[in-house]
Amino acid sequence: WWLRGSLAALSRDLAAKGAPLLLARGRAETVIPALAAAIGAQEVQAGRAMEPWAREQSRRVHEALSAAGRALHLHTTVVLREPHGFASGSGKPYAVYTPFAKAMLTTEPAAPLPAPERIAGVEPPAGGERLEDLALYPVPGEPDWAAEFPAAWQPGEAGAQARLARFVAGALGSYAEARNIPGIEGSSGLSPHLRWGEVSPRQVWHAVRAASRGASAETFLKEILWREFSYHLLWHRPEMPERNLRAEFDAFPWTRDPALLAAWQQGRTGYPIVDAGMRQLWRMGWMHNRVRMVAGSLLVKHLLQPWQEGAAWFADTLLDHDLASNSASWQWVAGCGTDAAPYFRVFNPVLQGEKFDPDGAYVRRWLPQLAKLPKAFVHKPWEAPEGVLAAAGLRLGRDYPRPVVGPAEGRARALAAFAAL
């Protein structure tokens, strides 16, 4: 946002001096060389992006700058180490997470550099810019669909640093156990900040290392390494967001069903832990990681819908949507990734709910129609006796749906489909 504000201010200043510069909607290979020429920069320093489209953009910017006698220097920012310089003993990229993580842990990532007090030749606009004046996104109307987004993310570096400090001082100590309990704040909440570059993985890594060397810290850093692994996979396998990394899954018998997909997207599957997660996602732009895995498993295994549909929905709704992590995690759940969950691992949504939300606190928050059910039935309301349902004021099929596919039927269908590969 500051960069966009700086460009807008620079454009006005240059125009006032008789040197107009169009920056609002130009392509990067046009805008960046023009900006470099306007301020007399011989070099452009930038972070290296990993997404396929961003790599192509960087290539075009490099060519345009080179043609003008200027240079583009890309730096390590969104990852701990550059994928193109990190390989196994055989010289090939890692395809399995565990050996990748072990190799990454043999040496500590480089410590982050302190921020410079100023950058010569680049000054913030006098008086600053108001975010709303930049019209970066439409302001929601009524109802305000983004009203609960601030609970998951306070945009900006200050918000990222505050969240990191809160995590290392609090939830980090119990992260190994608490991260799996969706009804409490047991995770770091840093994923949107990492996604949007408001904090770097190196900053997070060293802050955690400085705070603790215990089991919970090690568990958390392994999650950072899963993110890292996902980026390395994307770098070497740019087709990962669309195509199965294991070719045999190209023949998988998905049973596309728009009604089932819509029920999943809207939190109407009849499985409370999944529906609570999908409604949390819609209202907050974020979903607890354990619930993401359960919801993903239900979609691709019980419902036999293509993993790409789930990945696309997460891309549309997550504040922390990250092309690398989203693609790698969906392929892991579906079993078609290079390092995937075995096909016979089918999450039972009832047992997952009872294990990680035993009192139903998470379900009751996001599905208030189930709030009065006793905990014995909050994760399987279809098994509750009529008297219990009546006492809870719940009418199955009207206030809350029955399962779109039965638990045993869904598992059997999944095993049959996966075993046929």
Q: 69 phi and psi, to 5 degrees?
A: 80, 20
Q: Are 211 and 90 in contact (CB under 8 A)?
A: no
Query: Which DSSP letter does residue 339 get?
Result: T
CA 347 to chain centre: 21
Q: What is the spatial distance between Cα 1 and Cα 26, in angstroms, rounded to a whole number?
A: 16
Q: What is the spatial distance between Cα 44 and Cα 29, in angstroms, rounded to a whole number?
A: 12
- For the annotated catalytic residues, the residue numbers are 223, 226, 254, 289, 307, 330
Residues forming beta bridges with residue 396, ordered by sequence position: 400
Contacts 24+ apart (CB under 8 A), 26-32: 27/60, 28/57, 28/60, 28/61, 29/57, 29/60, 29/61, 29/63, 29/64, 30/64, 31/7, 32/61, 32/64, 32/65
Q: What is the spatial distance between Cα 23 and Cα 6, in angstroms, rounded to a whole number?
A: 11
Instruction: Return the percent helix, strand and coil in the chain, to nearest 5.
Output: 55, 5, 45
Contacts for 231 with CB less than 8 Å, ≥ 6 apart? 50, 78, 79, 83, 324, 325
